[in-house]
Structure 1
Amino acid sequence: MKYAVRYYTKTGNTKRLAEAMARELGVEALPISAGINEYVDILFLGNSYYAFNIDKEVKDFVGTLSKDKVGKIVNFGSAALLNSTYKKVKAEADKVGVPMDTNEFHCKGEFKGIHKGRPNDDDVRAAAEFVKQYK
């Protein structure tokens, strides 16, 4: 299996999760600006809600994907208010025909004092543990 971990973050929270997942998988966590340059079986895609939607950069990134580049996407992220970006990411993935795994990892993220200190060390460990099911 070939893996890639890509993330989009404004606060650094999702990057922390991405780095833990990537370490467990033996790959490098990269921002979505790095793109996907060769086929991967599983793309772990980290993102969050900004103004109650996924960022345009995440939508644009997913729009560059195809079944020739990605076997499936596994969604992950953190957010202060909403629990999952899955439906928003899936809507974009459906447009390009890339399947989404039904499992995802999500935890609370600190934003403007809400959920202070999250993701914490337990969240980071849980993210690394989550990816083990795909090895």
Structure 2
Amino acid sequence: MEMAVQYYSKSGNTKKLANAIAKEVGCRALTIDEELEGKVDLLFLGASVYWNGIDKKVKDYIKSLNPLRVKRVAIFSTSAMAERAFPEIKKLLMEKGITVEERNYYCRGQFTAMHRGRPNEDDLKQAEEFAKTFLEEGRN
């Protein structure tokens, strides 16, 4: 199963998760500005919530995805407040005809003095475990 990891991160929180997931699945984490090469069975897509929504760059990236090249997507995200990225990203991907995994990973991210040190080592281990569930699924 061909897997890829792409993300958008302003503060570096989502980048940390992307690198942990990429390490687990054996690829390099790419920003959404980098070209996704070839066809992908599963794309891990990471974003974070800023001011109650995902960034316009993430929305534009999703609109540019080709459903013939990306079979399905697993979402991971960070935010200082409540998890809100999944439903918004899922809706945009489904409008493109791309299958979205119901399993997703979210953790708090440091923002100013809030959630200092997050994502932490436990968060990164959980991100790796999240990715591992898809690897195990691909082997069966």
TM-score bin, normalised by smaller chain: over 0.9
Residue 39 of structure 2 is aligned to residue 39 of structure 1 = yes
2:28 is aligned to: 28
Within-5 A mapping of 1:71-86 = 71-86=71-86
3-state DSSP class of the match of 2:118?
Answer: coil
Residue 95 of structure 2 is aligned to residue 126 of structure 1 = no
1:59 is aligned to: 59
Determine what percentage of the aligned residue pairs are the same residue: 39
3-state DSSP class of the match of 1:103?
Answer: coil
Segments of structure 1 that go 5 or more residues without pairing to the other structure are none
Segments of structure 2 that go 5 or more residues without pairing to the other structure are 136-140
TM-align CA RMSD: 0.9
Residue 40 of structure 2 is aligned to residue 15 of structure 1 = no
Q: Deviations over 1:102-126 (max 9, x none)?
A: 0100011010111111000110111
Q: Is the 8 A contact 1:35 1:61 kept in 2?
A: no
3-state DSSP class of the match of 1:45?
Answer: strand
Aligned length, in residue pairs = 135
2:138 is aligned to: none
2:48 is aligned to: 48
Question: In structure 1, how many angstroms separate the alpha carbons of the residues matched to 2:91 and 2:98?
Answer: 10
3-state DSSP class of the match of 1:63?
Answer: helix
Shift of 1:66: 2.4
TM-score by length of 1: 0.96
Amino acid at match of 2:53: N
3-state DSSP class of the match of 1:34?
Answer: coil
Question: In structure 1, how many angstroms separate the alpha carbons of the residues matched to 2:23 and 2:37?
Answer: 20
Q: Deviations over 1:5-42 (max 9, x none)?
A: 00000000000000010001000001000132311000
Amino acid at match of 1:115: H
Q: Assess, with a 3 A threshold, how the Cα gap between structure 1 residues 84 and 103 changes in structure 2: closer, same or farther.
A: farther
